[in-house]
Structure 1
Amino acid sequence: MSGFPNVSAMTTLITGATGHLGSLIVEHVLNRIPAAELAVSVRDPEKASALAARGVDVRHGDFTRPETLRTAFAGVDKLVLVSIDGPDEERVEAHRAAVAAAKEAGVSFIAYTSVTDADTSPLILAKVHKATEEAISATGIPHAFLRNGMYHENYTPALAQGALVHAAGDGRIASASRDDLAEAAAVVITSDGHDNATYELTGPTAWSFAELAELGGVEHRAITPQERQAQLASFGLPEFLAELLTDIEANIAKGVLSEVRPDLEKLLGRTPRSIQQAL
């Protein structure tokens, strides 16, 4: 693990590299460029020791401590900015700090993991992403907005519990594999022609919860958003997270996430994995 950042030319850096999405992006990027050209920014460098052993430059960077980002982003040419979790106010502030640090460091391209229709979506989740996209656009740095749909993996684990409870009604959702979305991010950050592009990234089909339950051989039960939020809170989820997850399902019921878009298939050069394949 290096004590100082590698400031050689053409360094690509990925934030959140030990997280669910970030770690997958790292693997796909390593399939496309040498480890010596890759750096990662993580809150706990010890958790990325395996990457350091493979020749990746592991740096300490914490969005809530902007002073660490000045060092983490030093010498970086291309940046994959993976959105963080938490309450909206904290996320927006942290994301803006990261964007400012990228500007200060002279980063020449930012790929940001956003959400479907971030600028127009009624989702509570979209507010943070809209604000972050606006902050990136304001810097003048060439960028790509990777507007990820919901992950298959948000929903398939529930099948192991023997029942699928939701507030999505008969709505349909065009979810995608987290790994496919990670591969798309790797394609964008390691190839040219993506300046100021916006990609709406979904799976190849839209499915309903009734169909998912049938695929998994379990029962499903649609409840009201109020009941769903109370249920999620009873599981011990923070209030903001219970509200956010319920809001997603309520908007699925309204058809907000049902549209299948072609961008993911175009970036991958193949058909993305379906919910059936995810099972």
Structure 2
Amino acid sequence: MIMIIITGATGGLGRATVEHLLKRLPADRIGVSVRDAARARDLADRGVRVRQGSYEDPAALRDSFAGAEQVLLVSGNDPSADLVSLHRDAVDAAVAAGARRILYTSQQAAVPGNPYRPSEIHIATEAILAERPVAWTALRNGAYGTLAETLGPWRRTGKIALPADGPVPYTDRAEVAEAMAVILAGDRSFDGPVTLTAPTAVTFGDLAEIASDLTGRHIERVVVEDEQWVADQIRTGVPEQAARLMLTWYQAGRAGWFATADPLLAELLGREPRGVADRLAAA
């Protein structure tokens, strides 16, 4: 019996991927590796194999990966952890368990030179995968945070006040998860990096115009100088390290690192992905 194991299945992206897999495969062909098995009790009740496993415990991971044909490694997000080492341990656990393919949630434009700091983690993890004797797929997902998180309190202020940016294909997390489930459950193999993004890259200026059209009020795009933005973030309680890390995302965007939209997401979904106008309207 072919089994697909998903890590991080109690998080947003991992859980959504499991839900889409359940629409395509019998539950007994799906397993999850989770830090807290109690949080996945409802999946167990539906027939999904639930085992405890975390990137910090390679032995438990190997057990949770037992019987896997494919393993989806959802990338870690703890900025205080040595994520490259944790990802290496997870890759090696999947190899030791006999997985034939490892899929890893990477990031759009995870290539050398990208100033967005997490790119370095994804580049290193992809290199680890390339060195192992196993087929692998790096899912270079477009930015899929909610637009509310991305744009800030524009409804209250009437302003999108953020650092200078560039075009980005802001992508719906639910559609990324659906596409990953299509890849996992399908017969088509994807080797190496693949990019999953919305069909169109837009700027904050474009989003301000779209928001203005949707609301019938003028939404202003205000460019905040980098150091001023960092200072503003610190005043609201954001740690400086976190603010400066996020600043590198804006810097990467305005340098054009995220400007290219890719058609693969639409191909996998069999429809046009949601654009930012639809997402803003729904919100």
Do both share a fold (TM > 0.5)?
A: yes
Q: Distance in 1 between matches of 2:246 and 2:160?
A: 14
2:207 — aligned with what? 212
Aligned residues: 270
Question: Structure 1: which amino acid aligns with 2:136?
Answer: H
Greater CA drift, 108-117 or 262-271: 262-271
1:58 aligns with 2:58: no
Query: CA 1:40 to 1:160, structure 2 compared with 1: closer, same or farther past 3 Å?
Result: farther
Cα 1:111/1:160, change in 2 over 3 Å: farther
Aligned partner of 2:261 in structure 1 is: 260
Name the SS for the 2:140 alignment partner: strand
Q: Which AA in structure 2 matches 1:211?
A: D
Whether contact under 8 Å (1:112, 1:146) holds in the other structure is yes
2:11 equivalent to 1:10: no
Match of 1:193 in 2: 188
Provide closer, same or farther for how the CA distance between residues 238 and 249 of structure 1 changes in structure 2, counting only shifts above 3 A: same
Q: Report the 3-state secondary structure (helix = DSSP H, G, I; strand = E; otherwise coil) of the residue aligned with 1:256.
A: coil
Shift of 1:18: 1.1
SS in 1 for 2:82: helix
How do residues 44-55 of structure 1 correspond to structure 2 at under 5 angstroms? 44-55=36-47
8 Å CA contact retained: 2:116, 2:251: no
Does residue 43 (structure 1) correspond to residue 35 (structure 2)? The answer is: yes
**Structure 1 residues 238 and 91: alpha-carbon distance in aligned structure 2, compared to 1, 3 A threshold:** farther
Q: How many Å apart are 1:225 and its aligned residue?
A: 2.2
Q: Which amino acid aligns with 2:35?
A: R
Return closer, same or farther for 1:65/1:229 CA change in 2, 3 Å cut-off. farther
Which one of the candidate residues 126, 140, 145 is aligned to 1:133? 126
Structure 2 portions without partners, runs of 5+: 213-218
For 1:25 and 1:239, the matched residues in 2 are separated by 33
- Per-residue CA distance 1:123-153 (angstroms, 9 max, x = gap): 2121000111111111121111110011151
**Letter of the structure 2 residue corresponding to residue 187 of structure 1:** V
Q: CA deviation at 1:224?
A: 2.0
Q: Which residue of 2 aligns with 1:82?
A: 74
Contact 1:174/1:203 (CA < 8 Å) preserved in 2?
A: yes
Q: Which residue of 2 aligns with 1:181?
A: 176
- After TM superposition, give the deviation of residue 173 of structure 1 in Å: 1.1
Change in Cα spacing, 1:248 to 1:160, as seen in structure 2 (3 Å) is: same
State which of 161, 164, 174 in structure 2 corresponds to 1:165.
161
Work out the CA distance in 2 between the residues paired with 1:235 and 1:46.
35
1:105 maps to amino acid: A
Q: Which amino acid aligns with 1:219?
A: E
Change (3 A) 1:233 1:13: farther
* Aligned mate of 2:64, from 63, 72, 75: 72
Offset of residue 89 of structure 1 = 5.3
Whether contact under 8 Å (1:116, 1:147) holds in the other structure is yes
- Please state how far the C-alpha of 1:239 moved relative to its aligned partner: 4.1
Could you tell me which runs of 5 or more consecutive residues in structure 1 were left unpaired when the two chains were aligned: 1-8
Query: Which segment is superposed worse, 65-74 or 149-158?
Result: 149-158
- For the structure 1 residues 62 and 221, does the alpha-carbon distance in structure 2 shift closer, same or farther, using more than 3 Å as the test? same
Structure 2 length normalisation: TM-score? Answer: 0.88
For residues 84 and 66 of structure 1, the distance between their equivalents in structure 2, rounded to whole angstroms, comes to 14
Distance (Å, rounded) in 2 between the aligned partners of 1:58 and 1:157: 37
Deviation at 1:10, TM superposition (A): 1.1
Shift of the 45–233 alpha-carbon distance from structure 1 to 2, 3 Å rule, reads farther
Q: Percent identity?
A: 36
